[in-house]
Structure 1
Amino acid sequence: MAIYQKTVEQFETLLKCDIIDLKRLKILAFNGCPAENGIRSLTWKVLLNYLVLDRTKWSSHLSKQRELYRGYIRETIIKPGLTPTTEADFVDHPLNSAPDSSWAVYFKENEVLLQIDKDVRRLCPDLSFFQRETDYPCSEILNQEAGFESLRKRIVSTALKVESQSQSRLTGRLEFEYQNKKNHSSTSYDDNEYQLLPDGHEAHWEVVERILFVFSKLNSGQSYVQGMNEIIGPIYYTFATDPNLEWREHAEADAFYCFTNLMIHIRDNFMKIYDYSEFGILVRMQRFLMLLKKTDHDIHYLFEKQKLKPEFYAFRWLTLLLSQEFRLPDVLRIWDSLFADQERNFEFLLYICCAMIVLQRTRLLTGSESQNIKLLQNYPQDIDGRQIISKRIYQSGELIFEEQPLVLAQFEWNKLYKYSACEYCLYPLESCEQNEITINYLSECDRNRSRHSRQKLLQENYLFLCQCNRCVSEASEPDETSEEEESENEMDED
């Protein structure tokens, strides 16, 4: 308990600094954000590049961004809703088949809106939060005297009887998996729970619906794809439950920007044209398989023998950042580490997925093909996210993945300390009182980096020099840049 309280104090002290130390914040967040005092909400806003590191600029930045979002609502929902849909001239008639006609655009948007409406109504069915009324509805949207067609009116009045069409190849696959999880879920829910509230009131799922619709309008090249609702859901929930009333009041706008920034990193997962790009979903699944093969050759061989392709299970895991595999509190904990690991393009996610499989190793090795696919598509709920993150993974007997807790200790200069959990030998460059050490999940000394690069990282982030066997043995060797570093340097120059 004392360590946990110390962690809370460290977060609060760091987040109150005029200039926030981003590296320090990532180190803390990687090990999990405390749930109280709005720490996670504020940390995510910084990690997702919504809040600048200079706290003195927050007030003006937030005012500008929130007013800009209100402008987006006016431009994408209110203004189009004021245009009478009955006063169409001969050139722009509802039956006009021209793809650029306003009616064609209107009908296409309705298809997107229908899919969004369908998806957000089933957000986190095991929680009542999204069905509950928000204390901060959009006043402009709920102004009944404005006379415009709101999203709520648009869905109801147009009837929209045409079946919603897939926006990409994701929709059909994820729709099947949604139903599959619903059929096997121990939690049943009634769609009636997501019915509209009386005029003048909004449920949280309606707020999420509006965020996604605005996003789809502003990003016409990508639009909305089924599954994005599972990405925005945890973000909005975290912001809308912030104990600080001011932050909670603006949860909608803040969630919109954080979601938009996050989509920059993971949009390739949702767009078919990027499937074979460096960070496309197909390439990521292949990298996952390579990691699984190195981690557990027996499991990899079994999956090949049973033809359990990653498309059958890892597709959803990677695309939705595991938001469908665990209960919301566990998803939030996993995302703490993922958001702190953005610069690695969510490489940590691949390790978590491998850990999930390793934890089920015994059942998988004794299961049939049908049993194993069922297990992977409906991951056991008795395994929580913290247990997954703390799972160790070995390659050829070497520990490559293990979350390390914060170590609170007093370190003296010019004295050797062995951090046994990671098999690190650390040499302090200066005396440190109550210094916190966190060695990341992927040991820098196990990567194909030069000695200089490895020592530089430890020195800048931890004020230590590494004295492990590899670093000591290479101390007298010439320092050469590795292929990995050359590749990274080229990317930085570009």
Structure 2
Amino acid sequence: MSLYKSRLKEIENILGEKDIDKKALCSFIHNGIPECKKYRPICWKILFNYLPLQKNRWEHHLLRQRNNYKNLIMEFVIPPGIKDVDLSVDHPLSDGPDSTWSTFFKENETFLLQIDRDVRRLLPDISFFQEPTKFPCEIVVNSDSDIRLHSRVAPKQLSYANVERKGLGITKINLILKRAAESYSAMEKGKEANWEVVERILFIYAKLNPGQGYVQGMNEIIGPIYYVFASNEDHAEYAEADCFWCFTALMSEIRDFFIKSLDESENGIRGMMNKLSKLLEEKDIHVYKRLQEQGIFPQYYSFRWLTLLLSQEFPLPDVLRLWDSILADENRFEYLIYICCAMIIIIRDQLLENDFEHNVKILQNFPSIDVNFVLQRAIQLRES
């Protein structure tokens, strides 16, 4: 039996039990989930603690969570003009603190516009996010009104009057229509692109977490999760709801990365970068000193590595493989630091030989390399 078939048999046995042995599952996933698309969605849902370990609870749990998400769409995505709102109490021109209309317009100006910009350029190397989803949100795409989120911040058709004069007084007014440039055309009624689905998830997350809101980079974290669920035919129908809850679970672990006031805390982003710097000093003093001498500090390169969980440093298939190991590890983000340290040490010869400009460039644009080798090096560093 080939190694691939042997691993398939092993994962089938683990997931075939009535009660999932999470320790055995994590041990297996640490070495990578077989690339057949069948198992990663289930495994990740378990690793995010979205699916309970007792399989007889899955159906009821999923039904409840998916209905809860549908209710969130109704509460947060449907504009006040379509809901049953008494205009004598809550008028669109109201600027009162309790006005749903006031909140509606403020959201457009604050975080929705930024979300819209970010999701449109999500993982541009693949076409997946520009393609229509097979399971659009019926509430949104089949509405008689245009209630898609991106329409709230899309360039609008502006009308203005061109006044012509001859001598005294106005003699002619020409109404001219001018359209702002639009980089993405909306899909026809009944359809929506995958990036629109991601936009809705991030919008609802920001609404539910006003203390944190939306921060640039969250789109890069949610991208791999949504892709794993939505690209699998067995999980695609409920990919939006499942992705929302898994993304929320992950953000609860790394939220300190995105809150500026917590930057200096142990689990804040500066604290994480300091841990990486100290680990590099311990594991390879020569590279550490070289970077220090050149003034290349961790914030120049590792800020993105850590906050985005390396999602920008490797092609998507490699990111999924990295995340298998990171999510399966008992100390996820300690292991992430070891992976980052391994990345630096793997290119140590180049870093020791070259100048500031070259070293910054190679660290900010990490060279193509087998991620399994990176993971093996990280484990060696940790065990040593």
Specify the TM-score bucket, using the shorter chain as the normaliser.
Answer: 0.7 to 0.9
- The answer for the alignment partner of 1:376 in structure 2 is 363
**Equivalence map 1:154-303=2 (5 Å):** 154-156=152-154, 192=183, 194-244=184-234, 247-303=235-291
- The answer for the alignment partner of 1:153 in structure 2 is 151
- The answer for the alignment partner of 1:325 in structure 2 is 313
1:386 is the counterpart of 2:384: no
**Contact 1:78–1:148 (Cα < 8 Å) also in 2:** no
- The answer for the alignment partner of 1:118 in structure 2 is 117
Deviations 1:161-206 (A, max 9, x none): xxxxxxxxxxxxxxxxxxxxxxxxxxxxxx94x5322222111111
- The answer for the alignment partner of 1:366 in structure 2 is 353
Backbone CA RMSD of aligned residues = 2.4
Q: Specify which structure has the bigger relative contact order, considering alpha-carbon pairs within 8 angstroms and separated by 6 or more residues.
A: 2
The range that moved more, 72-81 or 55-64, is 72-81
Deviation of 1:3 (Å): 1.4
CA distance in 1, matches of 2:270, 2:12: 40
Amino acid at match of 1:55: K
**Contact 1:274–1:280 (Cα < 8 Å) also in 2:** yes
**Contact 2:92–2:102 (Cα < 8 Å) also in 1:** no
Amino acid at match of 1:290: K
CA distance in 1, matches of 2:81, 2:137: 15
**Contact 2:338–2:382 (Cα < 8 Å) also in 1:** no
Secondary structure in 1 matching 2:377: coil
Deviation of 1:258 (Å): 0.4
Deviation of 1:265 (Å): 0.6
**1:132/1:56 Cα in 2 relative to 1: closer, same or farther (>3 Å)?**
same
CA distance in 1, matches of 2:199, 2:157: 18
CA distance in 2, matches of 1:148, 1:206: 13
- The answer for the alignment partner of 1:108 in structure 2 is 106
CA distance in 1, matches of 2:44, 2:322: 12
Deviation of 1:291 (Å): 0.4
Amino acid at match of 2:294: Q
Deviation of 1:79 (Å): 5.2
CA distance in 1, matches of 2:271, 2:299: 12
Secondary structure in 1 matching 2:246: helix
**1:373/1:317 Cα in 2 relative to 1: closer, same or farther (>3 Å)?**
same
Deviation of 1:379 (Å): 1.1
So what's the TM-score if we normalise by structure 1?
0.69
Amino acid at match of 1:127: I
**Contact 1:76–1:214 (Cα < 8 Å) also in 2:** yes
**Equivalence map 1:480-491=2 (5 Å):** none
CA distance in 2, matches of 1:95, 1:282: 42
Deviation of 1:80 (Å): 3.2
- The answer for the alignment partner of 2:82 in structure 1 is 82
Deviations 1:38-75 (A, max 9, x none): 21111000000000000011111111110110000000
**Contact 2:140–2:147 (Cα < 8 Å) also in 1:** no
Deviation of 1:104 (Å): 4.1
- The answer for the alignment partner of 1:428 in structure 2 is none
For these two proteins, the number of residue pairs brought into alignment is 360
Amino acid at match of 1:8: L
CA distance in 2, matches of 1:159, 1:105: 24
Identity among equivalent pairs (%): 47
The range that moved more, 49-58 or 78-87, is 78-87
CA distance in 1, matches of 2:328, 2:263: 25
- The answer for the alignment partner of 2:175 in structure 1 is none
Amino acid at match of 1:18: K
CA distance in 2, matches of 1:30, 1:68: 32
Secondary structure in 2 matching 1:293: helix
1:310 is the counterpart of 2:298: yes
Amino acid at match of 1:387: F
Secondary structure in 1 matching 2:77: helix
- The answer for the alignment partner of 1:43 in structure 2 is 43
**5+ residue gaps in structure 2?**
159-181
Deviation of 1:105 (Å): 2.2
CA distance in 1, matches of 2:237, 2:92: 41
Secondary structure in 2 matching 1:321: coil
**1:46/1:69 Cα in 2 relative to 1: closer, same or farther (>3 Å)?**
same
1:23 is the counterpart of 2:23: yes
Deviations 1:291-323 (A, max 9, x none): 001111011001111111111100000000000
Deviation of 1:84 (Å): 9.4
Amino acid at match of 2:153: I
**5+ residue gaps in structure 1?**
161-190, 393-400, 403-440, 447-494
- The answer for the alignment partner of 2:10 in structure 1 is 10
**1:37/1:308 Cα in 2 relative to 1: closer, same or farther (>3 Å)?**
closer
